[in-house]
Amino acid sequence: MARNNKIQVPGARVAMDQLKADVMKAQGYTVDPAKPSNVKFEIADELGIPLSKGYNGELTSEQAGKIGGPIGGNMVKEMVRLAQEQMLKK
């Protein structure tokens, strides 16, 4: 599956994948450090959503949101927490 989203900062993909792995591990999910994006399959399975590798055009946007929402939402919460922590240090 190709990644269509583009990270604006060159080289940031590795750091974002590491953040995803760390955040989702903290949420109790099993994360493969080499492929942190695969956590979406565990979430989909937990929710009973038929997600497979490759094309998933049969999924509704609601189903896709239920899979991606917890991942992205938890990543944003962690980034805000880290930013607040940095601001307090200054």
The pLDDT tens digits for 9-58 are: 878 888 888 999 999 999 999 998 889 889 999 999 999 999 999 899 99
User: In the prediction, which pLDDT does 61 show?
Assistant: 94
In angstroms, how far is the first alpha carbon of the chain from the final one? 42
Burial of 14 (0-12, 13-18, 19+ CB in 10 A): exposed
- Asked whether the whole model's pTM tops 0.85, one would answer no
CA nearest neighbour of 31 among 44, 45, 18? 18
